[in-house]
Amino acid sequence: MDRKHVVVVEDVEMQREAIAEYLTRAGFEISQADSGAALREICQQRAVDVAVVDLNLPDEDGFSLIKFLRETQRCGIIMLTANDDPTDRIVGLEVGADDYLVKPHPPRELLARIRSLLRRLAELAPAEAGPAKKVIAQLGHWRLDEQNRALRGPSDELLNLTAAEYLLLKELSQRAGAVLDREHLMQAVFHRAWQYEDRSMDVLVTRLRRKLEPTGESHRIKSVRGAGYILNLPDSH
C-alpha cells in the first residue's frame, strides 16, 4: 500500500520537525512547509493526501491556504490554531477545513485525527464500477450516488462535496425523517464525541445547506431546536 502524503505547514521549525518526525515514524510520507509559498510549491510537484495547516504563518494566513487547498487538491485538511477562541475554528471550517486542533496538542491526537480523516476520505473515494448505480436518496431532481460518492443532478452534473459533507448527507439520507442529534452525527462524520461548546457540526450543516442552495434542496435539512437535525425527503411528511 502506498504511503499517504502528509504536508505539515508550520513556520516554527522545532514544532514542524517534531510533528514531521512523529508522523514519519507512524508510516506517513511527510513534506514540510514553513510558509504559504512553500506549500504551493509542494502542491505543484505532487498530490497531497492530508494537509496539517497552522493558521498563523508569516506570509499568508491559514484561511487563504485552506481555500487554496480546497480549490486545487482532493485532500483532507486539519487546521492548527493557538487561539482557543471558537471564531477561528468556525471560520476555518466554513472555508473548507475538515477538522481542527488547538495547540498545544498531544502528537497521538493529531495522528488519530489524520487516520480518522483518511478513513472518511476512503469512504468518499469512487467505488469500483459495478453493474448498476446504487442510489442512497433522491433529493428532488438530485441524487446521492453511492457508487460515485457524489451528488448528481438530472443532467448528471456533479455537485462537489468534501468528505465531511458527503458523510453528513449520507447519514441524514439513510435515516431520513428521523431527528439525529449532534452526538450521533459527530460519531458518524468525525468519529469522535460531541462536546457542548463544539460547533463543528452546526458549521458543517450550514456549509452543506449553502452548497445545496443552487439545487433548490437546501430547505430539506431542518434544525430541530434542542434535538439535532432531520432530512425531509420528497416523500417524507
Q: Are 94 and 207 in contact (CB under 8 A)?
A: yes
Task: Taking residues 175-204, report their average pLDDT.
Answer: 82
Q: Are 48 and 22 in contact (CB under 8 A)?
A: no
| DSSP run (H or E) holding 19 | helix 13-25
pLDDT bucket at 235, cuts 50 / 70 / 90: low
Higher pLDDT, residue 137 or 19: 19
Judge whether residue 130 has pLDDT over 80: no
Task: Taking residues 157-163, report their average pLDDT.
Answer: 79
Report percent pLDDT > 70 for the chain.
89
- Classify residue 139 by its DSSP letter: E
Higher pLDDT, residue 6 or 2: 6
Judge whether residue 204 has pLDDT over 50: yes
Q: What is the pLDDT of residue 18?
A: 95
Q: What is the pLDDT of residue 234?
A: 63
Q: pLDDT for 33-56, tens place per residue?
A: 999 999 999 999 999 999 999 988
Q: What is the pLDDT of residue 145?
A: 73
Higher pLDDT, residue 140 or 216: 216
Burial of 10 (0-12, 13-18, 19+ CB in 10 A): buried
Q: pLDDT for 209-228, tens place per residue?
A: 988 888 888 888 999 988 89
Task: Taking residues 62-80, report their average pLDDT.
Answer: 90
Judge whether residue 88 has pLDDT over 50: yes
Task: Taking residues 143-170, report their average pLDDT.
Answer: 80
CA angle, residues 190, 164, 99, in degrees to nearest 5: 55
* Listed range (13-22, 68-77, 126-135, 196-205) with the worst mean pLDDT: 126-135
Q: What is the pLDDT of residue 35?
A: 92
The count of other CB atoms within 10 Å of the CB of residue 222 is 13
Cα 42 to Cα 30, 38, 161, 221, 230, distances in angstroms: 11, 6, 24, 38, 41
- Most confident stretch, 67-76, 155-164, 185-194: 67-76
Report percent pLDDT > 90 for the chain.
35
pLDDT bucket at 177, cuts 50 / 70 / 90: confident
> Are β-strands 158-159 and 221-224 bridged in parallel, bridged antiparallel, or unpaired?
unpaired
- Phi and psi (nearest 5°) for 51? -115, 130
> Which residue segments constitute the domains of the chain, with CATH numbers given?
5-124 (3.40.50.2300), 135-231 (1.10.10.10)
Q: What is the pLDDT of residue 108?
A: 94
Q: Are 57 and 167 in contact (CB under 8 A)?
A: no
